[in-house]
Amino acid sequence: MTHPRVFIISPADSAKADESYRIMEEAGCELVYGKKSWRVPQDSNEDEMWAMAKGADVIAGRSIRNSPITGRIMQNAPDLRVVAKYVIGVDDVDVKAATEQGILVTHCPAEAILGGTAEGTMGIMLTLLKKTREKDQAVKHGGWKDPSLEGRYVGRRQDGYPGLTIGIVGLGRIARVVVELLAPWKARIIAYDPYVDNKQFAARNVEKVDLPTLLKESDVVSLHVVLTDETSHMIGAEEIAMMKQDAILINTSRGQVIDEKAMAEALESGKLAAAGLDAFEHEPLPADSPLRKLGNKVLLSPHMINDGSGLGPGIEWTTRSVLAVLNGEVPDNVYNKEIIPRWLERFGGHKVEGFKSNR
């Protein structure tokens, strides 16, 4: 008997993942599991991934940025309906090739993790501005009320203190929650996003500015963008040079949006005060990364700032997407929406043979 073939390209270790795999197996799917070692930076795994993708109806799983899902891998699965990601980003998928081949690419919508990421952004910002780590270390080593431990007050005060200027790059759904969390503090919030209309800025009392203005005027610059050709290395040496010397740079989006070498050099030289990073150009962060040697000038997080949500919501969303496409239906989290009409012509209403739909 024929079974739908699901290639789990990067399995997850969690109860949610186990439940997802059980649901798909009960629906008649044959699951093929990739190797966990593929997530560790090493030589290309494309040939092995290509071989395991043969005949797949679905490719699903976590991100493997060092070994992306290429057009060649997808070509080895002529009936492939979807590449379904557990996470928001699709930067490890050749979306252009998928679109050309008529394959849907789905990802975890921001709603699944936006609260945790926004709270994590606030946590990074406050830790750096308030010098929380430095105060803790000082007291533990016998220190007390050293003026160098004094942090910075964020909001506007009645005594005339104007508050800090918080610059948001990318006013998407996660960034909007950050703005909501900041609102009671009455800090000045400015943002750059050429793809968001003016009404969205006005509704949140956010001042719309261009990127150079944001960099020059912000005390805190927080990045909330997806990785595209346009945003790759959008913050480099030239942009960092525009920032205030006592400014803080926060990135909870994708590591590749910052020129990491230029940032590390600016931190080392004192041209940039501090950086809080949950994403890096190469993950895991290499052992010889200069960022590891910058002490309290950096606050580093292993790409898991969305506490309380993690991969769980993304796995649930992916499971629903997989069941939908196997049943000939378009899921609600398609990234390359432009190919939906073409996809429906080929697969719409056509259930994969052997799939046990409960719809």
Question: Catalytic site residue 303?
Answer: yes
Can you spell out the DSSP letters for 184-204?
Answer: GGT-EEEEE-TTS-HHHHHHT
> Residue 169: which H helix or E strand, with range?
strand 165-169
Burial of 90 (0-12, 13-18, 19+ CB in 10 A): buried
Marked catalytic residue, from 72, 233, 303, 320: 303
Residues contacting 264, CB < 8 A, separation 6+: 289, 290, 291, 294
Which of 251, 175, 167 shows the shortest CA–CA distance to 208?
Answer: 167
Give the residue carrying structure tokens 């679905």: 58
DSSP 257: G
Given the residues 239, 254, 260, 281, select the one marked as catalytic: 254
The torsion defined by the Cα of 124, 125, 126 and 128, in degrees rounded to 10, comes to 80
Catalytic residue (one of 46, 283, 316, 329): 283
What whole-number distance in Å separates Cα of residue 339 and Cα of residue 298? Answer: 42
- What tokens does 103 get? 């394959």
Helices 132-140 and 114-129: crossing angle, nearest 10°?
A: 50
Q: Are 139 and 198 in contact (CB under 8 A)?
A: no
Three-class DSSP category at 311? coil
**Is 283 an active-site residue?**
yes
Nearest to 225 by CA among 201, 203, 251: 251
Three-state DSSP class for residue 348: coil
Q: Where are the alpha helices (DSSP H) in the chain?
A: 15-26, 46-52, 71-75, 95-100, 114-129, 132-140, 173-182, 198-203, 211-217, 237-242, 260-269, 312-326, 340-347
What does the alpha-carbon distance between residue 91 and residue 174 come to, in Å, rounded to a whole number? Answer: 18
Q: Known catalytic residues?
A: 254, 283, 303
